[in-house]
Each structure stands twice: as structure tokens, then as C-alpha cells.
């Protein structure tokens, strides 16, 4: 389902925002690192880095949500396959969670 500009906002869930799934990031990558990297393309609404609950070490993936689908598309096209922190990023559209939450 297409999402236009302004489809999200701070109160919107991840599934309502144009969200990218970023994989192959280092375990040291922080939310602010990704906010800065992806923010070069436009307004980033939310960044979530997957972490081990016990150790706090990154699991190598993150979700980056934008307020505008066009901006998210541009970021994905420019950053997918690019080197970052000695790794090659994989950036794709996030899929809705199967449980609908």
C-alpha cells in the first residue's frame, strides 16, 4: 500500500511509517550514527538498533523510519551496498510484522 508524504509522524507505529531495514551493521553502531548517516537524505523520525537484551551488544540490524517515502527510497538507493564502518550495508524496505503489532 503506497504511503505518501506525512503518512507518519512521531505517534505513528513503525508499520505506518516508510521504514527501512538496515542489515550488516557493526555491533558498535549506535542510533545516532545511523540518524546522522540517513539524515543526510531527509528527516529521520525514528531509529531502532536491535540489541541483545542481556549484553546490550548490537545484533547487526536496525530500522530507520522517515516521514516521507520518497526520502526513504532515495536513502535506500544511495546506501544499499555502500561501505560503512568496514562493512557493506544492506538496505531494504521493512516488512510489516506478522503479528500485526
- pLDDT tens-digit readout, 36-78: 999 999 999 999 999 999 999 999 999 999 999 999 999 999 9
The span from the CA of 28 to the CA of 87, in Å, is 12
* Per-residue pLDDT at 2 exceeds 90: no
**Look-up of cell digits 535506500:** 76
Q: Which residue has the higher pLDDT, 1 or 88?
A: 88
Q: Which domains does the chain have, with CATH numbers?
A: 16-93 (3.30.70.330)
Read off the pLDDT of residues 21-42 as tens digits, 9 standing for 90 and up. Answer: 999 999 999 999 999 999 999 9
pLDDT at 56: 94
| Cell representation of residue 68 | 516521507
Amino acid at each position: 500500500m503506497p504511503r505518501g508524504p506525512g503518512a507518519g509522524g512521531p505517534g505513528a507505529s513503525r508499520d505506518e511509517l516508510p521504514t527501512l531495514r538496515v542489515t550488516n551493521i557493526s555491533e558498535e553502531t549506535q542510533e545516532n550514527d545511523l540518524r546522522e548517516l540517513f539524515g543526510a537524505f531527509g528527516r529521520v523520525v525514528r531509529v531502532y538498533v536491535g540489541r541483545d537484551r542481556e549484553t546490550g551488544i548490537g545484533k547487526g540490524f536496525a530500522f530507520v523510519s522517515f516521514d516521507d517515502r520518497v526520502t526513504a527510497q532515495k536513502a535506500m538507493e544511495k546506501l544499499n551496498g555502500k561501505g560503512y564502518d568496514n562493512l557493506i550495508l544492506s538496505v531494504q524496505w521493512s516488512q510489516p510484522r506478522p503479528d500485526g503489532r
